[in-house]
C-alpha cells in the first residue's frame, strides 16, 4: 500500500511538475532582512481569499432581487445558521482588506519600492486599490436597505458631475432613470462577477511581477537605484545572500495573515454585522444615508469643500488622484529609496494619513448635519420666567435654529454655539444675522414674522 501511494505520488509529481515548477517558485531566492514591514500585501491577499470564501457562502442565502434582497438579509442576519457571523466576517473582512491595501500601498511608497524595475507592480497596484474600493462600495449597496438605496443615489449624483456624459453615466449606474429592480441586479453582477474577475486577473499580474522582478530589497540610505546596473546587482546580491522565500520569508506572511483573519473573526463574533435600516424604498425619506467608514472621509470632504468649486472637484479630484498615482513611478523611477533620504515623501504620506483620519473622525460626527432629533429647550434649561424669553426659546426649537446651534449642550453643531451669544452680539446685530442669514445659515427674514423674530431675539439676548 505504501509502495502504491509512493508510486502515485511520484506520478502526480511528474505530471503536475510540483518538484520541477512549483517548489522552485516557492523556494525562489529573496533578499534577506525582509522583516514584518513586508507582510501587508500578502495579508491583503488573504483578506481577498477570505472575502471570496465568505462571499460565496453568502450567495447561497442572498436573493439578488430588489423585492427579496432585504428579506433574505433579514433571514441571513437573524435566522440562518451562523448567518449573522458570516455577514459580519464579510463586513470586517472588507474593512480589513481596504485597510491592508492602504497600509501596503503606504509601505511601498515610503520605501519607494515602486522604482525601477517595479513600475508595473505599482501601476497594477493602483488599479487594485480602486477595484478594492469599488468592491467595498458595491458591497455596501448589496446591503439593500434604505441606506443602500440612498447610497446608490449619492453615487449616481457623483458620476453625474462627469462633464457632458454625466447624466448618461448616472443612468448607466442606476440601470435606468430611477432606482428600481434593475439597479440591484447590476450592482450584484458587478460585485460578484465583473469586479472579482478583473480583480483576479490583476492580482495574478501583481504576483507574477513579484516573481519576474523580484521582491524589493530592504531600502538602505546611500544605495540608490540605478536602472543601468540594478538588475545585475540584484541578481548578484541574491546569489550571495538570498534566502528561500518558503519558509524563511513566507512564515511571517502566513503568521500575520492568520492573525489578521482571527482578529476579523473575533470582531465579527463580538460586534456582528452592520444593522439593516428600513426597507429599500426611495419613498422612505427619513433616512440619513452615510457610507461605511472606509468611504466616510470622502463623504465628509463633500460637506467641507467650498460649494462653488465642489461640482468640479467631485469630477476632477478622482481623475487627478488616479493620474498622479499612475504617474508616480515614471516621475521618479531611480535614485534613493530609503525613507531617511526622502523626508518629504514620508512627510507627504504622513499628511495623507492625518488628512484621511481627520476626515474620518469628522465624518463620524457629521457636525454639518442638522440635528433633527435635538430635544426642545425646556423652561428649566432656559433659566427664565419671562414669557417672551420662554416663547423665544420655544420658537428657537420650532424654527429649526436648534438643529444647527448649540445652547447649553443642546442642539446641533453646524453653526456657532449660542450659549453666550449676548456677550458678543447686540440685539440689533442678532436681528441682522437672523434676517439675512449668510454662509450656511438661511435668511430667516422671509420665514418668520416680526413678532416671532422679537421673541427669538429676546431669548438670545438672555444668553450670556
Partner 1 sequence: MNSPDLPADKAPQPAVDAADQQAADHELSAPRREFLVKLSLGLSGVAALAVGVPVASAVLAPLLQPDPQTWRKVGTLTDFAVGSTHLVKFENADPVAWSGVSSESAAWLRRDSDTAFTAFSVNCAHLGCPVRWEQDAGLFMCPCHGGIYYKDGSVAAGPPPQGLTQYRIRVAANHDVELLTAPVPITNITPT
**The one among 55, 102, 125, 280 contacting partner 1 by CB under 8 A:** 280
Question: Is 404 an interacting residue with respect to partner 1 (CB under 8 A)?
Answer: yes
**The one among 310, 317, 339, 341 contacting partner 1 by CB under 8 A:** 310
- The minimum distance between CB 138 and partner 1, in angstroms, equals 15
Q: How many CA atoms lie within 13 A of 146 on its CB side?
A: 12
How big is the site for partner 1, counted in residues (CB under 8 A)? 74
Question: Is 303 an interacting residue with respect to partner 1 (CB under 8 A)?
Answer: yes
C-alpha grid cell for residue 418?
Answer: 449660542
Q: Between 289 and 318, whose beta carbon lies closer to partner 1?
A: 289
**206-265 residues near partner 1, rule: CB under 8 A:** none
**325-384 residues near partner 1, rule: CB under 8 A:** 368-370, 372
**The one among 3, 15, 81, 163 contacting partner 1 by CB under 8 A:** 163
> What is the dihedral sign for C-alpha 38, 43, 48, 49?
positive
Answer whether 416's CB lies under 8 Å from 401's CB: no
Bridge partners of 225, per DSSP, are 335
**The one among 441, 454, 461, 462 contacting partner 1 by CB under 8 A:** 441
Q: How far apart are CA 109 and CA 440, in angstroms?
A: 39
- The minimum distance between CB 376 and partner 1, in angstroms, equals 11
Question: Is 150 an interacting residue with respect to partner 1 (CB under 8 A)?
Answer: yes
Answer whether 108's CB lies under 8 Å from 122's CB: yes
- The minimum distance between CB 318 and partner 1, in angstroms, equals 13
Question: Is 65 an interacting residue with respect to partner 1 (CB under 8 A)?
Answer: yes
Q: How many Cβ atoms are within 10 Å of 252's Cβ, its own excluded?
A: 17
315, 307, 310: which is closest to 161 by C-alpha? Answer: 315
Question: Is 193 an interacting residue with respect to partner 1 (CB under 8 A)?
Answer: no
Question: Is 287 an interacting residue with respect to partner 1 (CB under 8 A)?
Answer: yes
Q: How far apart are CA 211 and CA 126, in angstroms?
A: 19
**The one among 38, 70, 92, 188 contacting partner 1 by CB under 8 A:** 70
C-alpha grid cell for residue 9?
Answer: 505520488
**The one among 120, 442, 454, 462 contacting partner 1 by CB under 8 A:** 442
Q: φ and ψ at 258, to 5 degrees?
A: -60, -40
**The one among 3, 177, 239, 385 contacting partner 1 by CB under 8 A:** 177
Q: How many Cβ atoms are within 10 Å of 150's Cβ, its own excluded?
A: 20
**The one among 31, 102, 160, 411 contacting partner 1 by CB under 8 A:** 160
> What is the dihedral sign for C-alpha 260, 264, 266, 271?
positive
Amino acid at each position: 500500500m505504501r509502495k502504491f501511494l509512493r508510486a502515485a505520488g511520484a506520478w502526480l509529481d511528474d505530471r503536475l511538475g510540483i518538484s520541477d515548477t512549483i517548489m522552485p517558485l516557492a523556494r525562489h531566492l529573496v533578499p534577506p532582512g525582509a522583516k514584518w514591514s513586508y507582510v501587508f500585501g500578502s495579508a491583503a491577499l488573504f483578506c481577498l481569499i477570505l472575502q471570496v470564501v465568505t462571499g460565496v457562502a453568502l450567495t447561497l442565502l442572498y436573493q439578488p432581487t430588489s423585492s427579496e434582497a432585504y428579506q433574505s438579509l433579514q433571514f441571513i442576519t437573524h435566522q440562518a445558521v451562523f448567518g449573522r457571523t458570516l455577514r459580519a466576517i464579510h463586513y470586517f473582512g472588507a474593512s480589513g482588506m481596504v485597510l491592508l491595501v492602504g497600509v501596503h500601498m503606504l509601505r511601498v511608497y515610503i520605501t519607494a519600492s515602486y522604482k525601477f524595475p517595479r513600475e508595473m507592480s505599482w501601476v497594477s497596484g493602483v488599479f487594485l486599490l480602486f477595484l478594492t474600493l469599488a468592491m467595498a462600495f458595491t458591497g455596501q449597496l448589496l446591503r439593500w436597505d434604505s441606506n443602500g438605496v440612498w447610497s446608490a443615489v449619492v453615487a449616481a449624483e457623483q458620476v453625474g458631475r462627469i462633464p457632458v456624459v454625466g447624466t448618461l453615466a448616472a443612468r448607466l449606474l442606476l440601470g435606468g432613470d430611477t432606482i428600481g429592480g434593475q439597479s440591484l441586479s447590476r450592482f450584484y453582477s458587478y460585485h460578484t462577477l465583473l469586479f472579482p474577475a478583473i480583480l483576479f486577473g490583476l492580482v495574478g499580474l501583481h504576483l507574477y511581477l513579484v516573481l519576474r522582478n523580484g521582491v524589493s530589497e530592504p531600502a538602505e540610505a546611500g544605495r540608490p537605484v540605478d536602472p543601468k546596473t540594478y538588475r545585475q546587482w540584484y541578481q548578484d546580491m541574491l546569489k550571495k545572500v538570498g534566502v528561500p522565500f518558503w519558509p524563511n520569508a513566507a512564515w511571517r506572511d502566513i503568521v500575520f495573515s492568520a492573525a489578521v483573519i482571527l482578529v476579523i473573526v473575533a470582531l465579527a463574533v463580538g460586534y456582528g454585522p452592520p444593522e439593516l435600516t428600513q426597507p429599500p424604498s426611495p419613498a422612505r425619506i427619513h433616512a440619513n444615508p452615510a457610507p461605511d467608514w472606509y468611504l466616510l472621509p470622502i463623504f465628509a470632504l463633500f460637506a467641507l469643500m467650498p460649494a462653488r468649486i465642489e461640482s468640479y472637484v467631485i469630477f476632477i479630484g478622482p481623475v487627478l488622484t488616479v493620474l498622479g498615482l499612475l504617474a508616480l513611478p515614471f516621475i521618479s523611477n531611480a535614485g534613493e529609496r530609503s525613507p531617511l533620504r526622502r523626508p518629504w515623501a514620508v512627510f507627504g504620506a504622513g499628511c495623507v494619513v492625518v488628512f484621511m483620519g481627520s476626515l474620518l473622525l469628522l465624518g463620524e460626527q457629521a457636525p454639518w448635519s442638522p440635528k433633527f432629533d435635538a430635544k426642545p429647550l425646556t423652561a428649566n434649561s432656559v433659566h427664565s420666567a419671562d414669557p417672551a424669553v420662554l416663547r423665544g426659546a420655544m420658537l428657537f426649537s420650532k424654527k429649526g435654529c436648534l438643529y444647527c446651534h448649540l445652547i447649553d449642550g443642546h442642539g446641533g453643531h453646524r453653526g456657532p454655539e449660542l450659549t453666550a451669544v449676548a456677550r458678543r452680539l447686540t440685539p440689533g446685530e442678532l436681528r441682522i444675522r437672523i434676517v439675512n442669514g449668510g454662509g450656511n445659515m438661511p435668511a430667516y427674514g422671509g420665514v418668520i414674522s416680526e413678532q416671532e423674530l422679537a421673541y427669538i431675539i429676546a431669548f438670545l439676548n438672555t444668553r450670556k
